[in-house]
Amino acid sequence: MLPIQGIDHLVLRIRDTELMLAFYRDVLGCTVEKHQEEIGLIQLRAGRSLIDLVPVAGPLGQRGGAAPGREGRNLDHFCLRLEPFDEAAIRRHLAAHDIEAGELVQRYGAEGSGPSLYLEDPEGNTVELKGPPDA
């Protein structure tokens, strides 16, 4: 079993940045934690987790295909926080189930930057496994 601690963040591909930002910030009370305009990413604090908004017209959003809708993907990926994060043990566990993960990369999440691996579920959804933040 993998030591899942919870969901670190989720990423929504969006069409209308102002409308979505107003909803998550003004209606639900999330706060803007980080805005990376150069890649097209707004990260909102939602308690211990983050909700990432990725405009489909931006650099990140263009990678995901059609805009959200009945035939378009809206969720880019979701992230599961693991602790401890033992890359070798995680890869052995995944390999035992014929699952291959991508390269280990440092990514920013709800608790800061830390180790991260991407993999796909059986239907092609991207799942991120993320370790604790670097000291």
From the list 46, 41, 27, 105, the residue with the least C-alpha distance to 76 is 41
- Look at residue 54 and tell me if it is in a domain: yes
CATH code of 42's domain: 3.10.180.10
- Look at residue 125 and tell me if it is in a domain: yes
| pLDDT value at 75 more than 90 | no
Specify the number of domains making up the chain: 1
Q: Is the dihedral of CA 119, 73, 16, 28 positive or negative?
A: negative
Confidence of residue 21 (pLDDT cuts 50, 70, 90): very high
| pLDDT value at 45 more than 90 | yes
- Look at residue 103 and tell me if it is in a domain: yes
- Look at residue 92 and tell me if it is in a domain: yes
- Look at residue 135 and tell me if it is in a domain: no
Show the domain range for 94. Answer: 4-130
Give the pTM: 0.75
